[in-house]
């Protein structure tokens, strides 16, 4: 056993201070390396682990953050910050019961801390509500909220001066979409009747779709694949303004995580849904891990929908997200899904196509649906548990096996912020594309998209963030933005 001398303690402190500077400069991977170096010199300081856990939280590596918090509590069982960090990670994963246990400890040890008490109360409220909803589900057959919406009973006030959906056709047209985008840019909302009409129509359409959708590149046109946009409406619209709006010759595939974090998620999702209705064969939408109830509770979309519309509207969005397809197949050659691959070999496209996503509803913490939404690639061979705490990390050999099993050329996925907006790995067979530049107004990354021509050539385009109104990310995330380091 190594004796930790005063000299070693001083050396570890010096390294920790260097890590703190890197953290302050938002160089989180480099900070993690330095905190790890400090821990190797002196493993008996709980704060080194919680500092590293905070970096992992910033990088959305929630599984690693929990592991570091656990280590800190082994070193010092009374180190309250470790409970706080662990609560943050579990909250980020939607494990509210586990978070509540740690927040109860934090609140008990610091009874005068109003912020800690507020977070505890908010988390307790969510746990009670989830338990109540589960109890209701057991007592009665769950009725769709869509069945309780009477569109004809919703009147459009004469004072409403925004775009309107034609009362006779009841269909979205290009004029309506253009008017809606213009209104959204002015920070105004469309009438709730039209929002209900859009979401109800998408829900009905998606309920009939398989879990894996076949996609063709338009002849004499192109297909654009975009990654996460995360409620950054002004950056999202900038994609159309610089790369071209959807049309019969310009198809788009948005690969999940349309909502959360950014505070204009409602504007993003209503625009995407409207374009899907206008161009059903040219606009494709895949579910991401943030089109789920637990994520929406934590990262702002639920609060945003309730603030801009109502609780009923959020429930309708939730049902509609459950119906979104999980993956797309471009010209039988490129597999596109939000997260990644699986904890076992041999998964076929037919298996993916037949996933009963609608009955399952939420993706859970294991199984094919969960892994499609949550998994990440890694440079090392094989598989390991995901740093996020959900899904797996898969190596080049796993990618190669999946592609060979299904006769495919490559995988396009999203789910991870990248400095240049995209990364090509696994011998060119696995591409990550992320389309939210300067993610959360703090990361400083570029966004990217991929244009695919009929001859299946890929052109990677990067872009920077554009100005937006002074509304902070996670504006609607209640008590939890502070808990998650926002």
Which residues belong to the active site? 290
State how far Cα 377 lies from the chain centre: 16
Question: Does the CA dihedral 397-285-317-61 come out positive or negative?
Answer: positive
Read off the tokens for 298.
Answer: 């934590």
Q: Which two tokens stand for residue 327?
A: 């993956």
| Dihedral pair phi/psi, residue 225, rounded to 5° | -105, 125
Among 95, 479, 121, residue whose Cα is nearest residue 294: 95
Please give the Cα distance from 137 to 162 (Å, whole number). Answer: 39
- Give CA–CA dist 185/180, Å, rounded: 9
Helix (H, G, I), strand (E, B) or coil at 177: helix
d(CA 285, CA 290): 13
Cα angle vertex 60, ends 56, 63, to 5°? 70
Rg (CA), the chain: 23
Question: Going by C-beta distance under 8 Å and a sequence separation of 6 or more, which residues neighbour residue 474?
Answer: 261, 263, 299, 300, 440, 480, 481, 484, 486
**Cα 88 versus chain centre, distance:** 16
> DSSP assignment, residue 152?
G
Q: Compute φ and ψ for 127, nearest 5 degrees.
A: -60, -45
Query: Which token pair is 155?
Result: 């009147």
**Residue 17's Cα: distance from chain center in Å?**
33
Angle at 331 between CA 326 and CA 336, to 5 degrees: 30
- From the list 381, 305, 398, the residue with the least C-alpha distance to 347 is 398
327-330/334-337 β-pairing = antiparallel
List the one residue out of 99, 107, 100 whose CA is nearest residue 80.
Answer: 107
CB 481 within 8 A of CB 440: no
Query: What residues have CB less than 8 Å from 349, skipping those under 6 apart?
Result: 212, 329, 335, 406
Picking from 289, 288, 314, the residue whose alpha carbon sits closest to that of residue 303 is: 314
Helix, strand, coil tally for the chain in percent (to 5): 50, 10, 40
């Amino acid at each position: 056993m190594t004796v930790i001398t005063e000299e070693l303690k001083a050396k570890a402190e010096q390294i920790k201070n260097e890590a703190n500077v890197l953290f302050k400069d938002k160089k989180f991977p480099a900070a993690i390396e330095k905190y790890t170096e400090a821990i190797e010199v002196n493993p008996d300081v709980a704060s080194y682990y919680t500092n590293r856990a905070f970096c992992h939280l910033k990088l959305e590596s929630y599984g690693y953050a929990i592991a570091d918090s656990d280590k800190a509590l082994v070193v010092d069982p009374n180190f309250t910050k470790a409970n706080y960090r662990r609560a943050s990670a579990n909250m980020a994963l939607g494990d509210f019961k586990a978070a509540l246990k740690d927040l109860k400890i934090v609140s008990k040890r610091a009874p005068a801390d109003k912020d800690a008490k507020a977070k505890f109360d908010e988390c307790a409220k969510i746990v009670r509500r989830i338990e109540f909803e589960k109890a209701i589900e057991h007592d009665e057959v769950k009725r769709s909220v869509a069945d309780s919406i009477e569109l004809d009973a919703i009147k459009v006030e004469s004072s409403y001066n925004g775009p309107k959906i034609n009362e006779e056709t009841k269909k979205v047209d290009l004029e309506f979409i253009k008017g809606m985008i213009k209104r959204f840019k002015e920070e105004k909302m469309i009438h709730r009747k039209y929002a209900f009409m859009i979401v109800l129509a998408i829900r009905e359409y998606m309920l009939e779709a398989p879990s894996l959708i076949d996609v063709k590149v338009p002849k004499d046109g192109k297909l654009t694949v975009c990654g996460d946009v995360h409620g950054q409406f002004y950056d999202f619209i900038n994609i159309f303004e610089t790369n071209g709006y959807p049309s019969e010759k310009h198809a788009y595939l948005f690969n999940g995580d349309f909502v959360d974090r950014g505070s204009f998620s409602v504007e993003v999702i209503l625009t995407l849904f409207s374009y899907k209705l206008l161009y059903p064969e040219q606009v494709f939408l895949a579910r991401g891990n943030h089109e789920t109830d637990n994520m929406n509770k934590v990262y702002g979309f639920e609060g945003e929908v309730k603030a801009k519309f109502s609780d009923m509207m959020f429930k309708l969005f939730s049902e509609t997200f459950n119906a979104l397809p999980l993956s797309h197949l471009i010209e039988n050659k490129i597999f596109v899904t939000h997260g990644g691959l699986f904890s076992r070999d041999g998964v076929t496209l037919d298996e993916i196509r037949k996933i009963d996503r609608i009955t399952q509803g939420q993706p859970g913490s294991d199984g094919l649906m969960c892994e499609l939404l949550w998994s990440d690639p890694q440079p090392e061979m094989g598989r390991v548990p995901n740093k996020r705490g959900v899904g797996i990390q898969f190596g080049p050999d796993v990618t190669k096996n999946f592609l060979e099993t299904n006769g495919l050329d490559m995988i396009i996925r999203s789910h991870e912020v990248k400095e240049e907006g995209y990364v090509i790995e696994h011998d060119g067979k696995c591409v990550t594309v992320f389309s939210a530049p300067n993610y959360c107004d703090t990361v400083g990354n570029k966004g990217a998209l991929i244009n695919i021509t009929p001859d299946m050539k890929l052109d990677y385009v990067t872009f920077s963030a554009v100005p937006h109104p002074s509304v902070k990310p996670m504006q609607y995330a209640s008590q939890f933005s502070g808990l998650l380091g926002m």
